[in-house]
Chain A
Amino acid sequence: MGTSVQVTPLSGAYGESPLCYLLAVDGFRFLLDCGWSDLCDPSQLEPLAKVAPTIDAVLLSHPDMMHLGALPYAMKHLGLSAPVYATEPVFRLGLLTMYDHFLSRWQVSDFDLFTLDDVDSAFQNVVRLKYSQNHLLRDKGEGIVIAPHVAGHLLGGTVWKITKDGEDVIYAVDFNHRKETHLNGTVLTSFVRPAVLITDAYNALNNQGYKRKQDQNFVDALLKVLASGGSVLLPVDTAGRVLELLLILDEYWGQRNLKYPIHFLTNVSTSTIDFVKSFLEWMNDSISKEFEQNRDNPFLLKNVSLIINKEELEKLGDAPKVVLASMASLEVGFSHDIFVEMANDTKNLVLFTEKGQFGTLARMLQVDPPPKAVKVTVSKRIPLVGDELKAYEEEQERIKKEESLKASRIKEEELKASHGLNAKASDPMTIDGSSSRKSSNAGSHFGANVDILIDGFVPPSTSVAPMFPFFENTAEWDDFGEVINPDDYMMKQEEMDYSMMHGSGDGLDGKIDEGSARLLLDSTPSKVVSNEMTVQVRCSLAYMDFEGRSDGRSVKSVIAHVAPLKLVLVHGSAEATEHLKMHCAKNSDLHVYAPQVEETIDVTSDLCAYKVQLSEKLMSNIISKKLGEHEIAWLDAEVGKEDEKLILLPPSSPPPPHKSVLVGDLKLADFKQFLENKGWQVEFAGGALRCGEYITVRKIGDSIQKGGAGSQQLVIEGPLCEDYYKIRELLYSQFYLL
């Protein structure tokens, strides 16, 4: 029997909610993406909460909220603890996205669903892979190989291929087959006949125009507004599609020598671009070629200024400008604030480049006709003053006291536990990083004692007869004095490295921009003040599709090309999902599934297989024919057994003749070309190919259509004449007869 495969959507099925799916392959449970919407509503994650502790591995596909937003929360609160797999850019940019998200939230609310530390620790578990890297899972997942492949859409975007026993399960959401300014198109089409394909129906009903024309329209729309003295706001994501927009704008501005300022405003804009600059090998071929040839890095943006706080923007006053600000949903973040300011002026334009998430302000503004006015909450974090400050300080004091009491209690207990053991063993727990390093050196014997002297003596609550802890000095002495371990006095290489490293410890914290860092480290007590207001939407609103996803038509042709044995559709409005489901079921013989949230479907392939060894003798008698990348032959053999293995031997008696098989795929148009090259008069007439004067070659039925063996049915017709046999000969030459 084949590998058992089950899929359960936890979110993002028959709807556009964030993506999160559970995939079980022979009992090994993958979490495919872990998305959250910009609204950060914990109730969305209920299905995930039920299964989170049982997950064995998490695969992330894109660095945006919809694909990885819930990861820190799930790790912190839902008991998700599995290793996470992602590509380097997804890891980096995902981390920055989460930073930006947190900072945006924190500035306007007492956001406590996760903290920056939670983000860091969630991403600490990420195993970073390269495209096409086959990663073998261990232990429980023995035998499973996972490999990320290019998906397009976002930098580092991934189509996951999960292979077990030669059967492929492919998870491909939000892929883009088109090559873009900074990304390659997906390689999804190079996978053929996987056992299962999980893909989205998000764009099944949308069709796009030509990219170049689209780019031109986009720039024209901006220029029109700028020329008339207005400003343009592009609400964007932190580190995803915005990169494409920046490149388009930067290039165009460069070509036309335009002077209107472009600002890229997120909490992490400078570090985003810094990291992106070093991700050239993940971008499209022409970018890496350009760099190899001329060392030109397109992300040395010449016409874009990167800013990380709004004050800089405000300095510019009302001059026409283009602002790209996060977040795309307008819920919170800089884009929200700027929208509120700009909405009132008819000259301004708010241009959406992606469809707003469901239930967000962006979505509200994208309806046709747009609303005249919207209600928004404007919040601000302001420092505490007066009584409030005092109350806060007292509260803090109290908390601190409690904590220190608790800490010392814990420490005592630990001490008790380690009592009598080598003091060194307990060190890492009680002493912070820097002193532990010191103590691991020569003075290691006294580390714990020093600690006690500092902290004073609190009798462990459980001890019957409390006494001052006593540590025996275990140092050995001989005639020359204390026996020392020379290693303790060796200059350690690591230490040198540590001292050389500037601060940053675990290699994790992608830098937060200085400004934001100040904002965070600034421990001045503060509070959030918010007031509701109604904003008159007088500015013009526009939507242009720069989502970088394959459109409906291409999605269909990609699916037809990949031709999975089973297809699972997720993430798309009910309408789009049904449409694509009908389309696929109608046009091919594959099994299509579109599960609801929390509905488990079994897509175990009904594939039967067994392995045999091919004996040398048999193989020496077989002559195979080459057909593209395949070699193919007819095989008649007898089964034998050798060391418990089946082995195929040459048949002992002459095998019965078999029905002959014609192998090949004929396209009439190609055949026409072929005949024309041979000097025949060929034309299409009524769906048939008319060759010479009398002979017609026809195809009945479509090869993709279901039916019997799914082989092509060709008919050659004509009167008895020489041409007939010649054409037949040529037709045969297109096939391999076995």
Chain B
Amino acid sequence: MASVSAAPTGGKRPASGGREGDQMVITPLGAGNEVGRSCVHMTFKGRTVLFDCGIHPAYSGMAALPYFDEIDPSEIDVLLVTHFHLDHAASLPYFLEKTTFKGKVYMTHATKAIYKLLLQDYVKVSKVSVDDMLYDEQDIIRSLDKIEVIDFHQTVEVNGIRFWCYTAGHVLGAAMFMVDIAGVRILYTGDYSREEDRHLRAAETPQFTPDICIIESTYGIQQHQPRVVREKRFTEVVHSTVAQGGRVLIPAFALGRAQELLLILDEYWSNHPELHKIPIYYASPLAKRCMAVYQTYINSMNDRIKNQYAQSNPFHFKHIESLNSIDNFHDVGPSVVMASPGGLQSGLSRQLFDKWCTDKKNSCVIPGYVVEGTLAKTIINEPREVTLANGLTAPLHMQVHYISFSAHADFPQTSTFLDELRPPNIILVHGEANEMSRLKQRLISQFDGTNTKVVSPKNCQSVEMYFSSEKMAKTIGRMAEQVPEPGESVSGLLVKKGFTYQIMAPEDLRVYTQLSTANITQRIAVPYSGSFEVIRYRLKQIYESVESSTEESDVPALIVHERVTVRLESESYVTLQWSSDPISDMVSDSVVAVILNISREGPKVVPVEEAEKTKEETERVAQKVVYALMASLFGDVKVGEEGKFIISVDGNVAHLDGQSGNVECENAALRERIKTAFRRIQGAVRPIPLSVS
């Protein structure tokens, strides 16, 4: 698989030397050079985010899914769904119920409410036609419990990933997600529109510039007509058709644009009393069910709707009726019918089309983006004949109008949006290959001379980027009372939460975090019935420091190595008391061993004379031990002059001074390793230093 290496921002280093943690990999699992099954996988600093989880409407069964095989679902921390359309959300039940995914899923309130209705409908419709169902209704219900909701602008943090969303326009509840991982920001637009329409707000411009912008390219470099012109054309077509006694068919997807068109029609009818006797139907039980959602989430819509809402709910239509099935439809005289699906593949819209296509008084208005390969796409080119659903051919006499109300950004919108944001990296997704490459060329020339990179990866083609981030830590509390000068040393606890670091003294841990420190005091009773003096004598043979307790106490006590207190509690036992830490534990263990040995009268500990070696001798032994350990670590070690060692590893030669610990070596990595190893060995060979901290 080819991998595109793109866009170094700031300090890029060669790919080989980059640390795993600084590499960001973005892989479209769907919607790469295509429209449908949106799904973009992103991983950075051990965190993984998946944007959208759609299906491809032109395929069925497993073939419609994004390429989930390419990733490990269990590693995903957060899945963000931008809006409810099938090509953005419909593989979610499959992903939640049938894979190892165990992260969190977020979508907006309105999206979640419609998601359920829409998918239930989708399952019902496809049950008839598809054998290998991806999931059933139960899976959808179960998936609902796993979906969490997020409101626009609300900031949520999961496992160090901070994210929030902006209004995207497109449909009710549509969001653009901004994700912030360790200060690197990624904007995923999903489908968006920068044009305010009758009920939706235009997409916002985020106040932060993202480092990467993953943006849709559905309309490539096309330009939409102004909304007013489109609305006028639309109402004129409808009006003139019904005025001539014809019927208007509007094949539209049940949700999204349909509501916009209904608003237009309802208002047009209110302003034209002469049309009142002509019925408008929306023939979608789904749209009817979703109307309550539209009537409720007014606050996600634009100010126009909010103001109207103050008077009366604009989604309570006055001139529009719903139609449950074609059986209830009495096709007498002129009418306007909006029916799904939008592509005229099957269902009610196809039934009506077959019925009406031969009459030249009738019109068909195609109000949105139509997917390649559907009948709707075919009739836009106005062929002489069409194939009906029953296989027969019929002449196409009805007038076909393509008036796009599709709420996707066109080129001027995309271009200004990116111009305002100025992201250094742009990744194009969700666009048909030709449109996308045209857009890519235009954007490259638009941002020529700036440091902007534009890429358009295919499905499963990864984009790799490097963001070397500086790790900043904040030193707080008593450690920060004085700002240290260069050269001074700093020691304390390094606490990392999310991606922020703090350095503090252990005593401050409880003040600034929820963590706390503990002291464990240990008290152990050891049976012993001899004289206390014997213990003192034996301990003095081993330990440098054996002091009598200065505390006033009625029993004799010793403090060994400044840590462990030995007390003769009674005739039959002594107690040892100390505060836990590795050294004290070790000291106490040896004290216990000494005491036990005394009472056992076993073999005596090493004679005093033997312990008094000459200094040189000690050094010699130490040297030997160092050599042996070094040899076991690095293999080829030779003893040089004056206690020097010559270590060679893979052709790199290092000189180690056995006294000072200085290392001379060309290879920095090896030098550090030897230094560390030597320091540790020294620690093991020499006696434990008495004073600590």
Using a CB–CB distance below 8 Å, which chain A residues touch chain B? 88, 129-134, 136, 147, 166, 192-193, 271, 274, 277-281, 288-289, 291-293, 295, 297, 491, 493, 496-497, 500-504, 507, 509-511, 565, 607-614, 616, 619, 621-622, 624, 627-641, 646, 648, 651, 654-666, 703, 709-720, 724, 728, 731-732, 735, 737-738
Contacts and interface: CB of A to CB of B under 8 A. Distances in A.
B207 interface: yes
A585 B306 CA distance: 49
B485 A639 contact: yes
A152 to B, nearest CB: 17
A511 B144 contact: no
B151 interface: yes
List 4 A-B pairs, minimum CB-CB distance, nearest first.
Answer: A133-B153, A660-B581, A635-B494, A711-B517
A715 B520 contact: yes
B113 interface: yes
B509 A614 contact: no
Contacts of A291: 113, 296
Interface string B155-196: 110000000100000000000000000000000000000000
A147 B491 contact: no
Nearest to B500: A166
A636 B479 CA distance: 13
A662 B517 CA distance: 5
Contacts of B489: 636-639, 651, 655
Contact of B497 (A497, A629, A714): A629
Nearest to B311: A502
B476 A608 contact: yes
B491 A712 contact: no
19 contacts: A129-B153, A133-B154, A134-B155, A193-B511, A281-B297, A289-B144, A292-B112, A292-B116, A493-B227, A611-B475, A613-B473, A622-B494, A632-B495, A661-B509, A663-B516, A719-B573, A720-B524, A720-B596, A735-B518
Interface of B: 19, 109, 112-113, 116, 144, 149, 151-156, 164, 207, 226-228, 267, 289, 292-293, 296-299, 303-304, 306-311, 470-478, 480-481, 483-498, 501, 503, 506-507, 509-527, 573, 580-583, 592, 596, 661, 676, 679, 682-683, 689, 692-693
Contacts of A634: 491-494
B109 to A, nearest CB: 4
A640 to B, nearest CB: 5
A136 B164 CA distance: 14
Contacts of A711: 507, 510, 516-519
Contact of A720 (B487, B516, B592): B592
B494 A278 contact: no
Nearest to A615: B471
Contacts of A715: 520-523
A292 B683 CA distance: 65
B475 A632 contact: no
Contacts of A718: 523-525
Nearest to B156: A132
A131 B151 contact: yes
Given A622-B494, A732-B520, 6 more contacts: A166-B474, A608-B477, A613-B473, A631-B497, A665-B514, A720-B592
A638 B493 contact: no
Most A CB contacts (10 A, CB to CB) among B495, B501, B516 go to: B516
A724 B486 CA distance: 47
Contacts of A731: 520
Contact of B515 (A503, A632, A719, A720): A632
A130 B151 contact: yes
A608 B477 CA distance: 6
Contact of A665 (B289, B293, B515, B526): B515
A655 B491 contact: yes
A518 B155 CA distance: 43
Contact of B154 (A132, A510, A660): A132
Most B CB contacts (10 A, CB to CB) among A624, A630, A651 go to: A630
Given A288-B149, A651-B489, A612 B473 contact: yes
A715 B154 CA distance: 47
B505 to A, nearest CB: 9
A668 to B, nearest CB: 12
Contacts of B109: 280-281, 288, 292
B494 A633 contact: yes
Contacts of A500: 267, 304
Contacts of A737: 581-582
Nearest to B195: A493
A147 B496 contact: no
B299 A662 contact: no
A54 B124 CA distance: 63
Nearest to B505: A709
B516 A703 contact: yes
A713 B523 CA distance: 13
Nearest to A512: B310
Nearest to A291: B113
A649 to B, nearest CB: 9
B582 A630 contact: no
Given A501-B308, A712-B518, A631 B289 contact: no
Contacts of B573: 719
Contacts of B292: 295, 297
Contacts of A297: 292, 296
Contacts of A654: 661, 679, 682-683
B289 A295 contact: yes
A714 B477 CA distance: 25
Given A501-B308, A639-B484, A648 B490 contact: yes
Contacts of B503: 612, 635
A663 B581 CA distance: 12
A664 B516 contact: yes
A607 B520 contact: no
Contact of A713 (B521, B524, B582): B521
Contacts of B267: 500
Nearest to B521: A715
Contacts of A663: 493, 506, 509, 515-518
A279 to B, nearest CB: 7
Contacts of A504: 307, 310-311
A640 B484 CA distance: 9
Given A659-B693, A737-B582, A607 B476 contact: yes
Contacts of A724: 524
B116 A293 contact: yes
Given A501-B308, A565-B511, A661 B527 contact: no
B416 to A, nearest CB: 17
A712 B519 contact: yes
Contact of A712 (B495, B516, B683): B516
A507 B485 CA distance: 58
Contacts of A717: 522-524
Contacts of A709: 506-507, 510, 517
Contacts of A614: 471-473, 501
B359 to A, nearest CB: 33
A290 to B, nearest CB: 11
B496 A624 contact: yes
Contact of A507 (B112, B207, B306, B682): B306
A631 B495 contact: yes
B581 A636 contact: no
Nearest to B501: A614
B493 A738 contact: yes
Given A280-B109, A630-B496, A493 B524 contact: no
A624 B682 CA distance: 24
Contact of A664 (B156, B299, B518): B518
A393 to B, nearest CB: 33
A496 B264 CA distance: 12
A289 B154 CA distance: 19
B528 to A, nearest CB: 10
A281 B149 contact: yes
Contacts of B592: 720
Given A662-B580, A712-B518, A278 B297 contact: yes
